[in-house]
Amino acid sequence: MVSLHVVDVKTFMNQLLIQNVFDNFLLSEMEITTFNQFKINGNLNLGWFDEDEKEELQERRYSTWAQIKPIAFSLMKGKKVPSVFKIVLLLSPANTKKIIEKALPNFDVAQIGSLYLNIRYENGSLHMITGTSMKIFTMDKSVEQEWDSNMKRFLKHYEVVFEEE
């Protein structure tokens, strides 16, 4: 787990809500507080989809950030910024597999639950915290360390200015 403070909030918000920087992430949950509190659970309602649509989803169980981003943007745009928002993104299983196989080739990817990116804005300050859930108990922190390093490289690649806390 690594905690990062985003220095340039305006640029980051542009990348999050307008550009496609985070579009391949999946949404676990989102809460936005403006004049009301809005909550979105990113779990797909599989009963809503027909069989062809379910086939297209393959094994995906969460909405992509690209699908939810327009809703988030519509809730956040305007003259007043949200008082608080929290967005929990997940790395897709395919991207999780790519990261782990490249960095830790002998690690069983099936042992990983999810790799998370928690984004929280409050009082004009934006913070991100990485997280790792494992399906088994292990003292080995190599997956967590790889995810933390990979996320920092990802942010630097997209020129997100951050300070490690």
Report pLDDT digits (tens) over 98-128.
Answer: 888 877 778 778 888 899 999 999 999 999 9
Amino acid at 47: G
Q: Identify the bridge partners of residue 18 per DSSP, sorted by sequence position.
A: none
**125: helix, strand or coil:** strand
User: What kind and span of H or E run contains 150?
Assistant: helix 142-157
Whether 8 and 161 have beta carbons less than 8 Å apart is answered as: yes
The alpha carbons of the chain give a radius of gyration, in whole angstroms, of 16
Phi, psi of 29 (to 5 degrees): -160, 160
Residue 43: predicted pLDDT: 86
Encode 97-129: b = buried (16+ Cβ within 10 Å), e = exposed.
eebbeeeeeeeeeeebebbbbbbebeeeebbbb
Residue 94: predicted pLDDT: 86
Q: Identify the bridge partners of residue 116 per DSSP, sorted by sequence position.
A: 90, 131
Question: Nearest-CA neighbor of 103 among 37, 151, 34?
Answer: 151
Mean pLDDT within 127-146: 85
The more confident residue out of 47 and 127 is: 127
Mean pLDDT within 128-156: 87
pTM: 0.89
Tell me the pLDDT of the chain averaged across its residues.
90
Question: Nearest-CA neighbor of 2 among 156, 127, 161, 134?
Answer: 127
- What percent of the chain lies above the pLDDT cut of 90? 61
Distance, in Å, from the CA atom of 29 to the CA atom of 72, rounded to the nearest integer, reads 11
Question: Helices 93-103 and 142-157 sit at what angle, rounded to 10 degrees?
Answer: 110
The more confident residue out of 107 and 164 is: 164
